[in-house]
């Protein structure tokens, strides 16, 4: 059985793959805006599906994924309505700690950036149960199995462990995270470097800082970026 799931759009979630994931606050974008973007993406995918050559079709699909993310991300950066709870330092600190916690057990954490209404995170999934530090030393041999919905499960863990505590800080009780998210499989080291730089520079692109190193809620694993 291939690892597919269906929520709003089907996603391929292979175990052991590298991922760029974006998830956002509940209500951070109007429903009609998201639906319009998803419909546009679906139409593009239908056009791509008609391409006969496999390599050309595959490359076109990957380019479309990248364009979809850029548009999705731009909408979040430009949002002039909706919650900005992640701008609260205590909330951002809590989410940052939650992103670090599965590092070395559920995934190898490469980078993340926490914006005011959404989060970018780049990681490589670690199949099975592991017991290791972030440095990777003494990593135990994988044992057991994981769900076929690897990104879904990881996000459920992170969102579930932060929603209540973030709401507690904010003195609220409604939904904190939007259910759906974006995830993209990173194919190689070259794409990984481009993706990490994109994630790190998100606050620069949003005109919040002049240098990504000045953004407190940005992280990159040592040695990945010069």
Report in angstroms the alpha-carbon separations of 19 from 9, 11, 170, 197: 17, 12, 30, 14
Q: Are residues 110 and 66 in the same domain?
A: no
Q: What percent of the chain has pLDDT over 70?
A: 85
DSSP assignment, residue 192? H
DSSP assignment, residue 139? P
Q: Which of 15-29, 40-54, 59-73 has the lowest mean pLDDT?
A: 59-73
Give the global pTM.
Answer: 0.81
Contact (Cβ atoms closer than 8 angstroms) between residue 42 and residue 30: no
136: left (phi over 0), alpha (psi -120 to 50) or beta: left
**Given this model, what pLDDT does residue 70 score?**
86
Please say which residue of 62, 81, 100 terminates a domain: 81
Is 5 a domain residue? no
Say how many C-beta atoms besides its own lie within 10 A of residue 85's C-beta.
Answer: 20
Q: Determine the structural domain holding residue 60 and report its residue range.
A: 29-81
225 or 206, which is more confident?
Answer: 206
Q: Are residues 205 and 131 in the same domain?
A: yes
Q: Are residues 60 and 120 in the same domain?
A: no
Q: Which of 7-11, 31-35, 146-150, 208-212 has the lowest mean pLDDT?
A: 7-11
Q: Are residues 35 and 101 in the same domain?
A: no
Contact (Cβ atoms closer than 8 angstroms) between residue 23 and residue 120: no
Cα–Cα distance measured from residue 193 to residue 214, given in angstroms and rounded to the nearest whole number: 20
Quote the mean pLDDT of the chain. 85
Contact (Cβ atoms closer than 8 angstroms) between residue 177 and residue 163: yes
Give per-residue pLDDT as tens, 122-159: 999 998 744 443 334 333 333 333 456 788 889 999 99
Burial label for 86, CB within 10 Å (0-12, 13-18, 19+), is buried
**Given this model, what pLDDT does residue 180 score?**
85
pLDDT at 1 over 90: no
Q: What is the SS3 assignment for 34-54?
A: HHHHHHHHHHHHHHHHCCCCH
The domain spanning residue 185 has which CATH number? Answer: 3.30.70.1290
Contact (Cβ atoms closer than 8 angstroms) between residue 87 and residue 176: no
Tally of structural domains, the chain: 2
Q: Which residue, 64, 70, 67, 37, is CA-closest to 49? A: 64
**Given this model, what pLDDT does residue 131 score?**
40
Is 102 a domain residue? yes
Contact (Cβ atoms closer than 8 angstroms) between residue 89 and residue 28: no
Contact (Cβ atoms closer than 8 angstroms) between residue 204 and residue 195: no
Is 3 a domain residue? no
Mean pLDDT, range 50-66, rounded to an integer: 88
3-state secondary structure of 134: coil
Q: Which residue, 116, 142, 71, 134, is CA-closest to 208? A: 116
Cα–Cα distance measured from residue 38 to residue 30, given in angstroms and rounded to the nearest whole number: 13
Cα–Cα distance measured from residue 66 to residue 132, given in angstroms and rounded to the nearest whole number: 32
Q: What percent of the chain has pLDDT over 90?
A: 56
């Amino acid at each position: 059985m291939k690892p597919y799931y269906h929520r709003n759009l089907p996603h391929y979630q292979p175990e052991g793959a590298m991922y760029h994931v974006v998830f956002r606050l509940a209500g951070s974008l109007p429903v009609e805006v998201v639906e319009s973007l998803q419909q546009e993406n679906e139409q593009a995918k239908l056009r791509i599906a008609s391409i006969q050559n496999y390599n050309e079709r595959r490359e076109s699909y990957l380019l479309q994924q990248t364009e979809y993310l850029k548009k999705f991300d731009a909408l979040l950066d430009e949002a002039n309505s909706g919650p900005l709870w992640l701008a609260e330092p205590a909330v951002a600190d809590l989410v940052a700690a939650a992103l670090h916690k599965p590092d070395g057990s559920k995934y190898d954490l490469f980078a993340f950036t926490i914006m005011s209404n959404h989060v970018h995170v780049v990681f490589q999934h670690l199949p099975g149960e592991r017991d290791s530090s972030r440095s990777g030393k003494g990593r135990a041999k994988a044992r057991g199995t994981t769900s076929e919905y690897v990104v879904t499960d990881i996000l459920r863990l992170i969102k579930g462990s932060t929603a209540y505590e973030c709401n507690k800080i904010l003195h609220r009780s409604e939904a904190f995270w939007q259910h759906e998210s974006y995830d993209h499989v990173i194919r190689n080291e070259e794409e990984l470097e481009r993706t990490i730089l994109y994630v790190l520079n998100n606050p620069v692109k949003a005109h919040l800082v002049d240098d990504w190193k000045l953004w407190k809620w940005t992280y990159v694993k040592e040695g990945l970026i010069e």
